[in-house]
Amino acid sequence: MTSEKQLLALYGLKWNPFLSDIPVEAVWTPAQLDSFLFRMEGLVMEGGFAMINGDPGLGKSKILQLTAHRLNRLSDVVVGVMERPQSSLQDFYREMSALFGVNLSPANRYGGFKALRERWQNHIRTTLFRPVLLIDEAQEMAASSLNELRLLASTQFDSQCILTILLCGDNRLPERFRTETLVSLGTRIRVRLPLEPLNRDNLLDYLHHALEQAGAPHLMTDALTETLADHCCGNLRMLNQIGADLLATAAQKQMPRIDEKLFLETFTRQPRPRKPRPIQKDTVDG
């Protein structure tokens, strides 16, 4: 069995381009993402809600990681990342207190509400930036927590927002904002990034970028990269899973380069041999 270090050494890779733990600086950024990140930087000055949504495997969490990286580069911007969005309202306040350094008693919800708002308003007066809250898997949040977040962030009779919130989730998330319970929050989402399956050109661009950043632009043949782009249904997660399987198989076979032949050998299903039918003897009625 080839270890990860041996695999990297065999192909001169700085990291495995098909795993999720690549450096954030090496993450592929499509053209539409530049516009979204620019608008997020503006939202830090004004406050409000933003949303990323899309089917599983389209790169939502990576975009969230890129957003955190971009915003953390701005001086005086405070970025909190919620790790347990499915929490009850009491645990929601516990996590908010930990993220923003406020001592709260979950039993005293009004005290926690007031302390968080005071902390954010003091930060705005000092830096002019709104604190930022990033929430992955936001479709799992309880409606009570989402509405509490809306009320927490709103001041001056809803004329000012003292927090910047980015909600990230699958396509159940925008559907939830069409319900009567959450429609008020849905109308406040100012920046949206709906993700669709990637087209062939984007997938090829992603593959070339990933291989080049990892230090092995010629790891795969052109025919193979085109084959992968045609067989992953526009889904980055599926593309990376296929790529990781091919890389591991190629390393096991000590292949100098991954080609389309290996793809066919690895993923083409071989027909099962048919079992011969037992011969039935005719019975004669005596």
Please provide the average confidence, as pLDDT, over all residues in the chain.
Answer: 90
- Identify whether residues 187 and 219 lie together within a single domain: no
Q: What is the pLDDT of residues 223-247, one digit of tens each?
A: 999 999 999 999 999 999 999 999 9
Q: What is the pLDDT of residues 263-274, one digit of tens each?
A: 999 887 655 656
Query: What pLDDT does residue 279 have?
Result: 59
Q: How many residues does the chain have?
A: 286
- Identify whether residues 39 and 61 lie together within a single domain: yes
Query: What pLDDT does residue 143 have?
Result: 96
**Domain membership flag for residue 283:** no
d(CA 186, CA 125): 28
Query: What pLDDT does residue 268 have?
Result: 78
- Identify whether residues 231 and 256 lie together within a single domain: yes
Can you tell me whether residue 125 is helix, strand or coil? helix
- Identify whether residues 134 and 262 lie together within a single domain: no
- Identify whether residues 13 and 144 lie together within a single domain: no
Instruction: Provide the pLDDT confidence category of residue 180 given band limits of 50, 70 and 90.
Output: very high
Q: What is the pLDDT of residues 129-166, one digit of tens each?
A: 999 999 999 999 999 999 999 999 999 888 899 999 99
Query: What pLDDT does residue 211 have?
Result: 96
Token couple for 172: 């159940």
Can you tell me whether residue 128 is helix, strand or coil? coil
Please say if the pLDDT value at position 2 is more than 80. Answer: no
**Domain membership flag for residue 168:** yes
Evaluate whether 182 touches 146 at the Cβ level (below 8 Å).
yes
- Identify whether residues 160 and 240 lie together within a single domain: no
206: CATH: 1.10.8
- Which phi and psi (to 5°) does residue 26 adopt? -100, 0
Domain that holds residue 172: 31-194
Give how many domains the chain has, as a whole number.
Answer: 2
Amino acid letter, residue 60? K
